[in-house]
Structure 1
C-alpha cells in the first residue's frame, strides 16, 4: 500500500535524535509522501532543511499556526507572504483558529486566517486548517471566502456528522483523519461510517496524537497504517481500497505527481 501522510511535524525537536530513522521507518511502512505544515518563522529553517534532505518524500507548506498569532502577527504574515513569493509550496498552512488555551487574540487569529485564505486563492494552493475548540469561528471565515476556487483540509477532524456535512457541502475540502479515530472515546466511530471515503485524507499530526496502541507516546509517520486500518474498519471497507482512495484524494488536492 502506498500512503500519503498529509500532516507531520517531522522537523520538530522531538525527532532530533532519530529524524532520518523515523523517515526511513515511514517509507518502510508504505508512506511514500510526507507533507510538512509550518508553525511560524522559528520552524521554517528546520522544515526546509528536512525537505532539502529528502526531496522525493518531504514537501513543505507555508503558514502561520493560530497559537503563534500574537501582538506581532503582521510581521509573521509578511514573512510567509515573502516565502510564498520566493518558491513553491504544497499548501498554505497550518493556519486557522485555536481557542483551546486562550481567547485573547481571537480578532488577530481571525485576521491572520483571512489573509491566509486570500493567499491560498492567490497562489492556487490548498489551505490546511487548524480549528481546535473553534470550528464555528473558522468555518464562518472559510465559508465566506469560498468562491468555488478554495480547497483544503480541515486537519485533525474530530467534530460531528453535522460539521462533516457542512465541510463537504462547501466543496473542495477534505477531512484530515488521524490518531483520534483510534481512541476509544474519540467520537469518530459515530461519525466516519456516515462519511464517504472520497472526502477523507490520512494524517498523523506527529509528534502529537499517536494512535492506539501508542497513545501518549511520540507519534510518527510510520504509524499511519494504524489510522488507515481503523478507518477501513469504521467504513466497512478493504484497507487496500481505502489506502488507494485516500492517496488519490491527497494527490488530487495537493496536486502531487
Structure 2
C-alpha cells in the first residue's frame, strides 16, 4: 500500500499534510474551500444516500456532482473522486429493492455518464458486488463498455469494509489484484483488514478512529483553530486521529507491508 487516506472533516485540509478522505456530503455545503496541504480524495457519500433513501434521488444529479468535483479539483486540489456508485451489501440491496446485478449496472452506467459530462474530471471507476463472481461480473461490465480497468491508475472496490478481515475478502482482493491486475483502493479499511490484504492494495482509507473516539472522553488539550472550547470526546480531534493513523501504519509495518512515507 502506497497511500493511506485518513477519513476527515473538510476543515482538516488546512491543518495537516497527511492524505485525507473527505465526504462530498459535508464538503458540498461549504461556500468557501481551502487549498489542501496534502493529497485529498473525495467520497461521493453513496453508502449514506442508499442507506437513508434507498436511491440517489435525494443526492446531486450526475451533472451537479461533476460540477462539485470540478470545484474541488480547482480550489482544493484533489487526487480523485469516487463515482455515485451503488453498494451491494445485502441490507442495502434490501432497501433499494433492486438486484445486485442492477446495482452493478447502475454503478458502471454512472461512471460512464460522469465521464461523458467531463472526461477530464478525476473520477475513478468502482467495482461493486458481494461474491467473487459478482465482482468479476462487474469487471466484465466495464470491459464491455470499453473501459479497461487494468489501465486505470486506481480502481475502487466497494462493499467489503464489513468483512475485510475474512478469508473470503482476502481471496477477493487477491483475485482482483494479483490475478486480474487491478490497482485497488479499499474503501473503509480498518487495521485488521489492512493486516490481511494491505500489501495488495494501492491505497485505502478509514474513518474508524472517529467512532472509536466518540466512546473515549477527551484525553488531550488539543484545540483546532477557531474551535469554541475543549472537546468532550475524541470523535473530532485531529491529534487523536493522527495518533490513530500512526498505529495503523505501525500495524501494517509489523506485517511487512510496504507503506511509503507519503502514506
TM-score, scaled to structure 1: 0.59
Give the drift of 1:140: 3.0
CA deviation profile, 1:133-182 (whole Å, cap 9, x unmatched): 67764553244214143332336651533101122033342243866324
Which runs of 5 or more residues in structure 1 are unaligned? 12-18, 248-257
Larger Rg: 2
Contact 2:108 2:141 (C-alpha < 8 Å) held by counterparts: no
In the other structure, the counterpart of 1:57 is 38
Contact 1:99 1:134 (C-alpha < 8 Å) held by counterparts: no
**Larger RCO (CA under 8 A, 6+ residues apart):** 1
Q: 1:115 to 1:142 in 2, by over 3 A?
A: same
Q: 1:206 to 1:53 in 2, by over 3 A?
A: farther
Contact 1:154 1:173 (C-alpha < 8 Å) held by counterparts: no
* 1:114 maps onto 2:104 in alignment: no
Give the drift of 1:32: 2.8
* 1:224 maps onto 2:250 in alignment: no
Tell which deviates more after alignment, 103-112 or 145-154: 103-112
Q: For this pair of structures, how many residues does the alignment match?
A: 212
In the other structure, the counterpart of 1:36 is 22
In the other structure, the counterpart of 1:254 is none
The 2-side partners of 1:62 and 1:229 are apart by 25
The 2-side partners of 1:246 and 1:154 are apart by 22
The 2-side partners of 1:43 and 1:243 are apart by 28
TM-score, scaled to structure 2: 0.58
Contact 2:190 2:206 (C-alpha < 8 Å) held by counterparts: no
Contact 1:10 1:206 (C-alpha < 8 Å) held by counterparts: no
1:176 corresponds, among 151, 176, 186, to: 186
CA RMSD in angstroms comes to 4.4
Runs (4 or more) in structure 1 with deviation over 4 Å come to 84-87, 128-139, 206-211
Contact 1:38 1:44 (C-alpha < 8 Å) held by counterparts: yes
